[in-house]
Each structure stands twice: as C-alpha cells, then as structure tokens.
Amino acid sequence: MGEKIGFIGLGNMGHEMANNLLQSGYDLTVYNRTASKAKSLVEKGAQLVQQPAGAATPGGIIVSMVANDQVLEEIVSSQGFLAHLEPGGIHLSMSTVSPLTARELARLHEQHHSSYVAAPVFGRPDAAAARKLWICLAGPPAAKERVQPLLQAMGQGTFDFGTDPGAANIVKLCGNFLMISSMEAMAEALTLAEKSGLDRSTVVDMLTHTIFATPSYQNYGQMIAQKRHMPAGFRQSLGLKDVNLVREVAEHTSTPMPFASVLHDRMLAGIARGRGDMDWSALSLNVLEEAGLELPHSE
C-alpha cells in the first residue's frame, strides 16, 4: 500500500481495526497510552511511537479510536499531532464523540490546511476483528474519497451523511441511544418473564428468532438472559458517556428525550454499585435488584 497510516487508540476496538489495516498491507505507525497493548501489532510489523505526534506523517492519514472527547482533543491539540500532519493530511476520527467537538476539530484542521473526517462505527470488538463494522461518514468529499480503502479494510459498509462532520456523530449517538433503550426494554421484559415462572433464555430465543431478529436484540438479549456481562465489549462507563452526549445534543437542539434521563440514572446507579467496567448490558442487573431477584454469583 502506498499510504503510511498512523493509528492512535488500541483499546478493544482500535486494536482489531489497526490489525486489519496491517493485514491489508498498510505501513502502520501506532500510539497508545498503554504501550504494552501495541505488542502484538509491533510483532506483526507496526512501528510503535511514544507520543501522538509521532504517528503523523506530513500530508498522510492518521486514524483515531479513543475513549472520549477529552482524549481526542488532547491528541489533536498543540501537544498532539495536528501540527505534524501538515497541509493535505487527513484525520479519520472513528470515536464516538460530541458533534460539537467534531465540528470544532474540523475547523481547527481547516486552519492547518488538513481535513477532519468523522467515521464513528457500529459493532463490538468481534465485529471489528471480522471487518464487519458499519461506518457512518461525514466530511470533505475529497478526503472521504481518499480514506475509502481504509474503511473497506475495517468495515462491511459505509453510510455517507454529507460534509458536516457532526452529522455522522449524531447518527452514531442516535443508534447507541436505541441500543441502550432496547437493553432496558429487554431487561424489564425478561425479568417479568422470570418472575412469571418462565425461562429467560427460552423466551429471548423465541423473540430474537421472530419479531426481534436483529443482531442487537440477539447478541444483547442472550447476555441479558444469561446475566452474563463480562468480559466487557463496551464498558458501562462508556455507555454513560454516550447517554450524556445524547442529552447534550438534545439540550442543544431543544429536543425533549425523557427516556434518555431514565437510561442515565440506570447506568449511573450501576456505576455507583461498582459496575462501570462491566459491559453496558449490565444495566439489566439494576432491573433484577429492583424486582427482588438474586444477582448472578459472578456479579
């Protein structure tokens, strides 16, 4: 491959995405705050750098997959890679962040004559490993065209939402809100079934093979039915971050979203009980507690 790619953020998702770029033949430079997470990638040929700026090539492409807005702003800022990206460079930002942050970073990149492309993804780490991510895309047309080969190496499909980088992040937040909402609904429904003397797994198996035959209901339905929330594909603490972003956008656009407040309180209560590092489907444990059912022994 002709492009030299920098990749920042090697968590559960980023590591698999970076690995797919390596397997596709890209010359990859990686950075992660915990350097040990890059070990397997370095063994396969990636170059590890000690600072975000070291991942940038003048006029090149840098991909970021980090936890939140603050980290994203830090790796881009004057202490980060932006000045090293130089004119013609592209930042492919694949994290779930506020659309306001995306727009501000796009303006900052434009001032440095580089491009910011928002490309948040739908999919858990196993989907990332299998190149089965669904990708929302927004940004300058020429930059979006240039990053297409990278997107094809990491995902199964891309949906373009125009030139406003905030648009892709709004779609991502809408999707995450719907997923969290479905988990709350499944938790309540399966708890009702259990308290009525039915087997949770049998009920969810029927429902997810018929009227709710979608990956979100099938995957999270089984986790909730089995009361299995470790290892975490996406931590509950990050789920709360996303709900807060939804509420922020709702406030900014004067959009009442009362159920977002319910989900916020549900996740906050779980984190207060020490479940922040469990999968975000662990919000269902709060439902069990409120219904007077025993929690799984591993909890």
Q: Catalytic amino acids? A: 172
Q: Name which of 181, 61, 71, 168 is nearest 121 in CA terms.
A: 168
- The answer to whether residues 48 and 76 touch, using CB atoms and an 8 Å cutoff, is no
Spatial distance between the Cα atoms of 202 and 222, rounded to a whole number of angstroms? 10
3-class DSSP assignment, residue 48: strand
Q: Name which of 73, 26, 19, 79 is nearest 54 in CA terms.
A: 79
Mention every residue, 6+ apart, whose C-beta is less than 8 A from residue 11: 32, 37, 65, 66, 67
Going across the sheet that includes 27-31, the strands are 47-48, 27-31, 4-8, 61-64, 90-93, 115-118
